[in-house]
Amino acid sequence: MIIVFKKSATEEEISHVVDRIKSLGLAVHLSKGEERTIIGAIGDESLLASTPLEALPGVEKVMPILKPYKVVSRDFKAEPTVIDVMGTKIGAKEVRVIAGPCSVETMDLLKDCATKVKEGGASFLRGGAFKPRTSPYSFQGLGEEGLKFLAEAKKETGLPIVSELMDPRDIELLCEYVDIIQIGARNMQNFRLLTEVGRVKKPVLLKRGLAATIKEFLMSAEYIASQGNTDIILCERGIRTFETATRNTLDLSAVPVLKQETHLPVFIDPSHATGKWSLVTPLSMAAVAVGADGLMIEVHSDPENALCDGEQSLKPAKFAELMKMIGGIAATVGRTV
């Protein structure tokens, strides 16, 4: 249920409605836009049946949210969500780029890569300290040591850090070091994990599952938002189809569809989508053209010897070329890089 307030509504009137809804046992999500203040009442809406909310002072109208995802829907919030991470805004006019190696390997390699992606124009540094791998015998990441390496790279470059969380038990540890928590495709429907990250005050980058529909993707985002954390970045990273020419099939249509359905920023990860470095640049350009708010690009200084996903990683020089090319595309759609 959405409660829309009049422009003239006072803070006292808004607080009164919030208290009334909470007294009925429903969760309250408050959204203050430029034109209107809106409350989302989440829970068993039958509890509101005997409460004439439209009669309360300051209330303009009450509307049901018909979609199963409530807080992340455009019905709840018409204006795009803009997430501020250390002064860098995600979801605004600028197309933001997260870049770095798939996994943290050594301090020297990470620092070299971080310096070069910053020079190339990246806004954030990515690097996996905990790595979910298909095989239990593959490199699983350096754990806390990797997080410490990321912190050193941040100190040297000033780039905010994005790294993946796999286990709810590691939330406190990860939050000590990272600026954006990544939830990988394999954990998109790990509802316990989603609920836990919904309770922390860190932006979350949520990747679409290998075979998830848009509705399932948004319902996973709703798990996070329902706990109070609406700083969520949706990331399309390719879905599994019958095609074998690429690692996955990049669903570019997901960008405009998500933009219609939700107020959350949308990123594209062309590296995991294709599994081939040669396809990263053209698909990055296409992603910006269809309205993506950002990109997540794997960059490695020595991809031939990478411990993880070297075949889809750009070398720093290629990354710098990509940034120039997407800058031109961004300008044609009224954005900047």
Establish whether domains 2-63 and 83-332 are of one fold: no
Whole-prediction pTM value? 0.89
Tens-digit pLDDT profile for residues 151-166: 999 999 999 999 999 9
Q: What are phi and psi of 114, to 5 degrees?
A: -60, -45
**Does the domain made of 83-332 have the CATH classification 3.40.50.300?**
no
DSSP labels for 74-99?
A: TTT--SPP-EEETTEEESSSBPEEEE
Cβ proximity of 57 and 63 under 8 Å: no
**252, two tokens:** 């570019």
Ordered DSSP codes for 108-157 = HHHHHHHHHHHHHT-SEEE-BSS---SSTTS----THHHHHHHHHHHHHH
Residue 31 has pLDDT above 90, yes or no: no
With 70 as the cut, is the pLDDT of residue 336 above it? Answer: yes
The CATH number given to 2-63 is: 3.30.70.1140
The strand pair at 27-32 and 37-42 is best described as antiparallel
Q: What is the pLDDT of residue 137?
A: 59
Q: What is the pLDDT of residue 233?
A: 98
Residue 299 DSSP symbol: B
Domain residue extents for the chain: 2-63, 83-332
How many angstroms separate the CA atoms of 204 and 46, rounded? 32
Asked whether residue 305 carries a pLDDT value surpassing 90, the answer given is no
**Each residue's pLDDT tens digit, 263-290:** 999 999 999 999 999 999 999 999 999 9
Q: What is the pLDDT of residues 47-80, one digit of tens each?
A: 777 778 888 899 998 888 878 898 999 988 889 9
Q: Which helix (H) or strand (E) holds 232?
A: strand 232-236
| pLDDT over 70, % of the chain | 97
